[in-house]
Amino acid sequence: MICQQIIRRFEEIEYPIKHMSKTAKLEIDGKSYSLPIIEGTEGECAVDIANLRNESGYITLDDGYGNTGSCQSGITFIDGEKGILRYRGVPIEELAETSTFIETAYLIIYGKLPTHAELRQFSGLLTENENLHEDMKYHFAGFPATAHPMAILSSMINASSCFYPGLMAGRNPARFDIQAARLISQVRTIAAFAHRKSRGLPIIYPKPTYKYTANFLHMMFSDVYQDYELKPEVVKALDLIFLLHADHEQNCSTATVRMVASSQANLFACAAAGVCALWGPLHGGANQAVIEMLQQIHDAGDNGSRFIAAAKDKNSGRRLMGFGHRVYKNYDPRAKIIKRACDQLLNSLHINDPLLDIAKHLEEAALRDPYFLERKLYPNVDFYSGIIMRAIGLPLEMFTVIFAIGRMPGWIANYKETMADPKGRISRPRQIYTGQTLNHYVPIDQRG
Ligand code: SDX
């Protein structure tokens, strides 16, 4: 029985942004343009260029959007210079210490920490929606065993929505809670089934008595004849990994989700697009790339020094994976938390992973090296997360899938915020054309 549907609107808690009396002056061709300045609740300021082209005929250009805000959002705040990360104002350090992934998911999506009753209801919705439609197994059967689980994840999220035509139709806020719960719950089931399929193992169904992360480990590692032994420290470590990945402002994949949501595509289509954007090695794929890098260093008998030299050499095509960040010009607060959790988990499991020693050596060496210091390159969330996932026994190709499971609440919250925007404009960036000027068709016989 689906819990009584909570009629919710897409309302977002209004955050006071200030339209400053200050304006920016822009001089072009002897004409002066006055552009309004807006200030967010944490004092970030932006020049509002919404009317720039109408007034001046000019647009702005910002490769990689390093200086361009695509939206106003009340979900996550990052201060990259100070290494601050807060979900709905709550510091990541407090959530990591005292919360769980599902409680934090509720905070990110609904804008407040849940009461006991709200958390019970949310958890109940997740449990009610944890199974895939049984016919989905025919889709799994169609994938080769070598299929990358990120490819399976993105396609199966869309495939899953085909079984709920009523739920997905139109922009009905009342359906949002079920859509969100179904997506958060099923992304975990799809991921585990994809892993089982890749190993030629029978799928293990979720247990309604298990909490979110324990259920995922159960579906990943149990046998038909014997349940996986859930070690509390392992469940806690993976739950922390999910929590730390839950949202992160307008990163590449979240910005992709908002872009797709702006066309009023359904939530599952937006999430599937987010999975594809996350897959790249410069983004969510970095956690897999870090382990491959550490393994390569280990196998070469290098203590990391040779690799660091290569990472500094532009011609090497190498980067110190897990280092650097577009926003953090300080230590990623998530990396600090994960590094500590790494030590705790490996000690409690009595694991001595040489790759962790290499990672620590790389960090020490890089943080003494002017190349990295001058460019403000510090460990990011991906630098140590793979060590924990290895210790848990997760296969390398599942690392970015773990990131996607963790990021799902952030994508859902950004989808909700986009849909709640009363202006609701489709995102459509401009460009500067640099191609062939006016040209004409030439019949094929006259072409050189
Ligand atoms: C995530 O946006 C988010 O919030 C993302 C994320 C999230 O939670 O969603 O935090 C998750 O994606 C973390 C990042 C994971 N990716 C990696 O670890 C891959 C390695 N890092 C880089 O490729 C890079 O640092 C990025 C992609 C993370 C950021 O790239 P930018 O901001 O475009 O920086 P850049 O490429 O312009 O680099 C600036 C300079 C360049 O040198 P110069 O041309 O100035 O001489 O720094 C150098 C770069 O060559 N540089 C590196 C480097 N990262 C940047 N040199 C060596 N190793 C690196 N890792």
Residue with tokens 């983004």: 283
pLDDT in tens, 367-412: 999 999 999 999 999 999 999 999 999 999 999 999 999 999 999 9
Residue 10: per-residue pLDDT: 57
* Best residue among 319, 372, 378 to mutate for probing ligand 1, ranked by most atoms within 8 Å of CB: 319
Residue 364 CA, chain-centre distance (Å), reads 27
Whether pLDDT at 30 is above 70: yes
* Closest ligand 1 atom, residue 64 Cα: 33
Rounded to the nearest whole angstrom, what is the distance from the C-alpha of residue 172 to the centroid of ligand 1?
A: 39
Residue 70: per-residue pLDDT: 96
How high is the mean pLDDT of the chain?
A: 93
Rounded to the nearest whole angstrom, what is the distance from the C-alpha of residue 332 to the centroid of ligand 1?
A: 12
Q: How confident is the model at residue 244 (pLDDT cuts 50, 70, 90)?
A: very high
Residue nearest to atom 57 of ligand 1 (CA): 319
**d(C-alpha 161, C-alpha 61), whole Å:** 37
Whether pLDDT at 9 is above 70: no
Whether pLDDT at 6 is above 50: no
Residue 257: per-residue pLDDT: 98
Beta-bridge partner residues of 27:
32
Residue 7: per-residue pLDDT: 36
Residue nearest to atom 44 of ligand 1 (CA): 314
Residue nearest to atom 55 of ligand 1 (CA): 324
Residue nearest to atom 20 of ligand 1 (CA): 321
* Closest ligand 1 atom, residue 249 Cα: 4
Ranking 48-57, 223-232, 342-351, 415-424 by mean pLDDT, the lowest is 415-424
Rounded to the nearest whole angstrom, what is the distance from the C-alpha of residue 117 to the centroid of ligand 1?
A: 42
* Closest ligand 1 atom, residue 66 Cα: 32
Q: How confident is the model at residue 14 (pLDDT cuts 50, 70, 90)?
A: low
Whole-angstrom Cα Rg for the chain: 24
Among the listed residues 267, 262, 238, the one whose alpha carbon sits nearest the alpha carbon of residue 388 = 238
In the chain, the amino acid numbered 177 is D
* Best residue among 258, 283, 331 to mutate for probing ligand 1, ranked by most atoms within 8 Å of CB: 283
Supply 53's token pair.
């082209």
Q: What percent of the chain has pLDDT over 70?
A: 95
* Best residue among 323, 373, 384 to mutate for probing ligand 1, ranked by most atoms within 8 Å of CB: 323
Task: Work out the average pLDDT over 89-104.
Answer: 98
**d(C-alpha 56, C-alpha 152), whole Å:** 47
Q: How confident is the model at residue 17 (pLDDT cuts 50, 70, 90)?
A: low
pLDDT in tens, 400-426: 999 999 999 999 999 999 999 988 899
Supply 278's token pair.
């996350």
Question: 3-class DSSP state for residue 32?
Answer: strand
Residue 303: per-residue pLDDT: 86
Whether pLDDT at 91 is above 80: yes
**d(C-alpha 398, C-alpha 192), whole Å:** 9
Supply 279's token pair.
């897959």
Question: Considering the entire predicted model, what is its pTM?
Answer: 0.94
Rounded to the nearest whole angstrom, what is the distance from the C-alpha of residue 289 to the centroid of ligand 1?
A: 13
Rounded to the nearest whole angstrom, what is the distance from the C-alpha of residue 64 to the centroid of ligand 1?
A: 12
**d(C-alpha 85, C-alpha 72), whole Å:** 17
The residues that are catalytic are: 325, 382
Rounded to the nearest whole angstrom, what is the distance from the C-alpha of residue 326 to the centroid of ligand 1?
A: 6
Residue nearest to atom 37 of ligand 1 (CA): 326
Rounded to the nearest whole angstrom, what is the distance from the C-alpha of residue 319 to the centroid of ligand 1?
A: 9
Rounded to the nearest whole angstrom, what is the distance from the C-alpha of residue 380 to the centroid of ligand 1?
A: 9
Q: Are 164 and 156 in contact (CB under 8 A)?
A: no
Q: Are 326 and 384 in contact (CB under 8 A)?
A: no
**d(C-alpha 57, C-alpha 38), whole Å:** 22
Taking phi first (over 0 means left), then psi (-120 to 50 degrees means alpha), and beta for anything else, what does residue 112 get? Answer: beta
Residue 164: per-residue pLDDT: 87
Question: 3-class DSSP state for residue 420?
Answer: coil
Question: 3-class DSSP state for residue 341?
Answer: helix
- For the beta sheet containing 84-87, the strands, ordered from the edge strand earlier in sequence to the opposite edge, are 76-79, 84-87, 90-91
Whether pLDDT at 277 is above 90: yes
Q: What percent of the chain has pLDDT over 90?
A: 91
Q: How confident is the model at residue 55 (pLDDT cuts 50, 70, 90)?
A: very high
Residue nearest to atom 16 of ligand 1 (CA): 282
Residue nearest to atom 33 of ligand 1 (CA): 326
Residue nearest to atom 41 of ligand 1 (CA): 375
Using CB distances shorter than 6 Å, the residues near ligand 1 are 64, 248, 251, 282-283, 286, 311, 319-327, 375, 377, 380-382
